[in-house]
């Protein structure tokens, strides 16, 4: 219960204030994504609430054969003390009508804590996010991801998660 209240408090706090706003400079090159949701919702025995963040620096975006990509770095923790930190790339695709589709891929390090054993410390996160751009500075979205070790370990159960996202540009 405390975990749910903390997650709700973070979403409200960051939606009601301007993050790190020392001046009213709007270059919108940095983006923070705060999210909360359900880790491994498809496994009733291991399902857990999660809270996390992700940073994107759009000044480092590059045009590649995959399109325009930007680096991301982030992490999350679950109510069972599992933790995942990652770095990778994402694509921001403007679908029109203020809708943004954002697929991403990020390898990272996983610690199971008292949560699910994913079979290896090195895991890979594939994610799809759909968000609504409420203003130049803020978006709200939903996302789904799958974390898996690509059969690097003795077992590879994977974990499917869904999240609610608050994205702040600054």
How high does pLDDT run on average in the chain? 85
The whole domain housing 73 covers 2-17+28-169
pLDDT band at residue 68 under the 50/70/90 scheme: confident
Model's pTM, two decimal places? 0.81
Give the number of domains in the chain.
1
pLDDT tens digit sequence for 101-121: 999 999 999 999 999 999 999
In percent, how much of the chain has pLDDT > 70?
82
Q: Is residue 36 part of a domain?
A: yes
Q: Is residue 49 part of a domain?
A: yes
Dig out the tokens for 67 from the structure: 């399109």
Q: Is residue 22 part of a domain?
A: no
pLDDT tens digit sequence for 117-139: 999 999 999 999 999 999 989 99
Higher local confidence (pLDDT), 18 or 147: 147
Secondary structure class of 3 (helix, strand, coil): helix
- Alpha carbon 111 to chain centroid, angstroms: 17
CA angle 81, 140, 122 (to 5 degrees): 35
CATH number at residue 110: 2.40.160.20
Selection from 130, 44, 127, 46 nearest residue 81 by Cα: 46
């Amino acid at each position: 219960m405390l975990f749910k209240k903390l997650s709700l408090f973070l979403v409200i706090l960051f939606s009601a204030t301007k993050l790190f706003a020392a001046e009213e400079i709007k270059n919108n090159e940095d983006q923070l994504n705060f999210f909360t949701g359900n880790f491994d919702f498809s496994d009733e025995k291991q399902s857990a609430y999660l809270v996390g963040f992700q940073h994107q620096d759009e000044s480092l975006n590059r045009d590649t054969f995959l399109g325009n990509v930007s680096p991301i770095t982030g992490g999350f923790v679950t109510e069972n003390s599992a933790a995942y930190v990652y770095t990778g790339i994402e694509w921001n695709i403007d679908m029109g009508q203020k809708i943004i589709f954002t697929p991403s891929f990020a390898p990272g390090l996983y610690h199971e804590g008292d949560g699910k054993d994913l079979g290896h410390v090195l895991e890979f996160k594939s994610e799809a996010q759909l968000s609504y751009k409420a203003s130049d500075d803020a978006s709200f979205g939903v996302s789904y991801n799958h974390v898996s070790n690509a059969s690097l370990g003795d077992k590879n159960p994977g974990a499917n998660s869904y999240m609610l996202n608050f994205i702040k540009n600054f």
